[in-house]
Amino acid sequence: MIYVFCRGLLRLIYAIVFPLKIVGEENVPKEGGVLLCANHISLLDPMTIGIKLDRQVKYMAKAELFEVPVLGWLINKLGAFPVKRGGVSKESIKTALNTLRSGNVMGIFPEGTRNSDAGVAKKGAASFALRSGAAVVPAAIVGEYKPFRRMVVVYGAPIDLSQFVGAGSESLEAVTDVIMERINEMKKSGIPTVS
């Protein structure tokens, strides 16, 4: 209930401040586990890739955020779960895999940090993708978070990673490359127009 209310409020705010154009929303499966992998350019990215979808998107969030009064309670209610700084704990990995295996949508930023360039992608997204069996949907956020400037979110078709299943940890880098290449291709195709 809180998620639906906050999503509605954010949709209204975005409609005024950061008009969003959505491309390829039909590529996000209506049911089943989905790992939504996107580029990361701003603290606003988790909201941006999730607010136009009908399904709730869950995220890992820094453990410190859960200690902030009100904010910690709110992000917990919105479906976030904590991850400790300096590395992902076994508990966080287990929570992420359970989230995906239970048929939920989880958003992740393979770059790991906010970066307007390609960045050095991390292998967490690849590991979750191969271990959970969830559909891997690439998403590209295109534009700048400037008031009244159009932003575009492009959702790509799920990536077929079947060739990497069972290949072991050595395949994580290759899977990460495949995911990031798709996101970068979509960033180029989703350049926002002035209108």
Whether residue 194 has pLDDT greater than 60: no
Return d(Cα 39, Cα 181) in angstroms, integer.
11
Tell me, what's the pLDDT at 121? 53
Whether residue 92 has pLDDT greater than 70: yes
pLDDT tens digits, 26-42 = 999 999 999 999 999 99
Q: How confident is the model at residue 85 (pLDDT cuts 50, 70, 90)?
A: low
Cβ-Cβ contacts under 8 Å for 126 (sequence gap 6 or more): 110, 171, 172, 173, 175, 176, 179
Handedness of CA 73, 75, 76, 81 (dihedral sign): negative
Q: Which of 123, 99, 129 is nearest to 111 (CA)?
A: 123
Cβ-Cβ contacts under 8 Å for 56 (sequence gap 6 or more): 3, 50, 79, 104, 105
CA dihedral 174, 170, 60, 112 (to 10 degrees): -50
Tell me, what's the pLDDT at 165? 83
- pTM listed for this prediction: 0.89
